[in-house]
């Protein structure tokens, strides 16, 4: 099951907000805050890539269930 359009849009918006937060944090916050925001941003951005990967696995496993031709 792939991510719905609404979820993808929310993830994109969250990533945009986290980038803004990171830009502001880089000027004034402690390094641990910057590291944490960076980690969250990385995880948010990887969601769509992981969804694509899971779709590839699902399509391959569906293909494995089809009968194989013997020649």
Q: Domain extents for the chain? A: 5-61
Write the pLDDT tens digit of every residue in 11-67.
999 999 999 999 999 999 999 999 999 999 999 989 888 888 888 888 887 776 555
Nearest to 16 by CA among 43, 47, 39, 45: 45
Reported as half-sphere exposure (CB side, CA atoms, 13 A), residue 11 has a value of 16
Q: Are 45 and 15 in contact (CB under 8 A)?
A: yes
pTM greater than 0.75? no
Give me the pLDDT at residue 4, please: 87
Q: Are 37 and 20 in contact (CB under 8 A)?
A: no
- Rounded to the nearest angstrom, the gap between the alpha carbon of residue 35 and the centroid of all alpha carbons in its chain is 18
């Amino acid at each position: 099951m792939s991510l719905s359009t609404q979820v993808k849009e929310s993830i994109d918006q969250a990533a945009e907000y986290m980038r803004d937060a990171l830009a502001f944090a880089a000027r004034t916050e402690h390094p641990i805050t910057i590291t944490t925001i960076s980690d969250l941003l990385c995880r948010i951005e990887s969601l769509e890539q992981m969804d694509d990967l899971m779709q590839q696995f699902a399509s391959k496993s569906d293909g494995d269930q089809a009968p194989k031709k013997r020649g």
